[in-house]
Structure 1
Amino acid sequence: MRLEKLETFVMGNPPPRHGGRYFIFVRLTTECGITGVGEIYNATFGPDICCAMARDMFDRQFAGTDPANIELLFRRAYGAGFTHRPDVSVMGVFSGLEMACWDILGKAADKPVHALLGGRVHDRLRSYSYIYPADGDVYPDPDAPNVYNDAEMAAEVAAKMVDQGFNALKFDPAGPYSIFDGHQPRREDITRSVAFCREIRRAVGDRADLLFGTHGQFTVSGAKRMARALEPYDPLWFEEPMPPESPADMAAVAAFTSIPVAAGERLCTKYEFARVLEAGAASILQMNLGRVGGLLEAKKIAGMAETRQAQIAPHLYCGPVVAAANIQLAACSPNFLILESIGTFDGPYMAGVKGRIEWEDGYVIPSTAPGLGLELDDAAIAANPWTGTDLHLGMTETHVTH
């Protein structure tokens, strides 16, 4: 087989926009007509720029090659232009193309991707979701009571989610995050965070784990203050308590608290994750398959984590093709802990693809279809163009002050 063609697609995520403002999909086609789909999680540049990057990388590194040469393709992309260092934009583009190669290989072998990466060791995958507003709007009026700032409202939705089948829930009430982080949590941020843990724990009891998220916004001492306040409620994790630049500093937080530290959504390649493991900065690794460097790189990271008694919890704040890749990795990783889902993987979130992700009573059932198990729906993607100018994610550009 030889890779012949690349197609790129930018889809505006339909309301309620769970998973981000837009999704960047790719499709590779071989000379013999086998297609593979992938998704780029690149939040640094606009989606049209990311598509141009993908076309450039395909023309330089992928065109005319055998899609089975994953190692060679990775080294070409990683070293292109005399770089040889983790680059989140390069790896985001590479990740989308790489998972499309795995989709092709699975289809050619008539096997799901997890069967090509060592074989399935989990028949079902525990999942969690964010506590989203009951009316579905992921961007509610920040000045009005909502599940992001009102603990009682969040607890009410949490109880309904547990009744629906979820046994783990994520929320991040720790206050604003900015381009100037880390900062000290404001007293109101700690008070609100404690209230969320208290009210949600009261609403769900021991039927669900609480996953406390932040966006890397605190200093070491600030993260310690927050962790100390949350410990009585025994969260399953304290997510990315400080910016990811310094694993040694994050390790100081991990050593301070009994709450497991989870991190990794902003990291790429085995090299960045190796530093996290070596420092003892996190015991739960949250690689995102659309950014980390693809499926094979993520499998290597999972293997590295095994040697340190660390677990993986694939991160998802993007579209359903990355979700499908996350599932394939989780299914074949012995140290898998839990999988991020966008709700129950239904509704508008799945509009751009054909196929389904099976969610049942809090668990995802890994697909046995060849490849990743999803195909792009070209008509639906064309019907939902992205017309905005914002990036996939944003941060406030002012200091968070007391």
Structure 2
Amino acid sequence: MACDVLVLGAGMVGTCTALQLARRGHSVALVDRRPPGRETSYGNAGIIQREAVEPYAFPREWASVFDVAFKRGIDVNYHFSALPAVLPRLARYWHASAPARYAPIAQAYSRLIEHCLTEHQALMDESGAGDLVRKEGYHFAFRTPAAMEQAVARAADLARRYGVRHALLDSDALARAEPGLRRPMAGALHWLDPWSVNDPGALVARYARRFAELGGQVVEADASGLRPVGGGWQVQTAAGPLAARHAVVALGPWADPLIAPLGYRLPLFVKRGYHRHYRGGPGLRLPLLDAERGLVLAPMAQGMRITTGAEFARIGAPATPVQLDKAEAAARELLDLPQPVEPEPWMGNRPCTVDMKPVIGPAPQHPGLWFNFGHAHQGFTLGPVSGRLLAEMIEGSPPVVDPAPYSAARF
């Protein structure tokens, strides 16, 4: 068994990379231990965030840092057992978030986000996925006028610098837009450009189906067995070894264990997240981020999905969904929620880098090995454009954006 490219990891990023290569005529195998879209890309708020032109910076205000340290809020939790490994990475994250260092990071990040809608649209058109998407934005909602006033000033600045669009909704306008809300709120920023998807895993599956229609192989196998063989790369499958000239590591939070034995010590870390569905009740028209509590309420095909912020823990550590319990209590202040659909919450892992930019490009020490991971909260948003960028780099064709800021060599 042989092909041109092995793509390891069938989340949004890996599936889009495989599809972008197949669209260009390459023979590609998409390898994962689970079907496409069943890990991290399944469990998110389902928002293609065109407005997210700047990545999440580490808080610089000491009040916010203390809130995190003492677990006062909903948005962040951590395991003490994870701190020895993660604290040095968080220190570098904090360092990169200083204003002078953050500004060029945000500029590089925005150049990818700029293409997220057009690249998703191209793949949606080919995949027949329009029924999954709503192109009406989402609500960034506030409980207090003071918090909203601060956010409005930042939104105006983003609109001026990046051209992202928003509308301001006062308390009455938000109540009219979302009559299911059971209590008045101060208002909301209605981000107009983002799209919402009512089943994120299904969108990845549609892209994977289109990839297969173009002749791509979807192979269920353990990608961790990747090894160099005869000037190329090989993984073992149930049908025997599968070899290719090129291999793309798009394993998200599982990239580090695969590349570390090859000599790569990239400053990666993982944020865990949880969600749960609640079916019935009045619900919402559009996703709503409760900005002061740190949770998202997103209408999905499976029911109303509540998603949490970040939890720092080792991959494989037992679930501790304390954030989801707090998020559910906060959500019940806003909506009449029925009982949860699932007996246990879903949990997944987000792949992060200390400088908030993904790693996209060639592995510096191994010809034919390529990286496409580290997208943090925006892998669902950035999958099509980062897949296109990497496909163009493998081909040697003009790239959609300058790939230099995302190179693994920066570390």
Instruction: Settle same-fold status: TM greater than 0.5.
Output: no
Task: Report the TM-score when normalising by structure 1.
Answer: 0.25
Task: Report the TM-score when normalising by structure 2.
Answer: 0.25
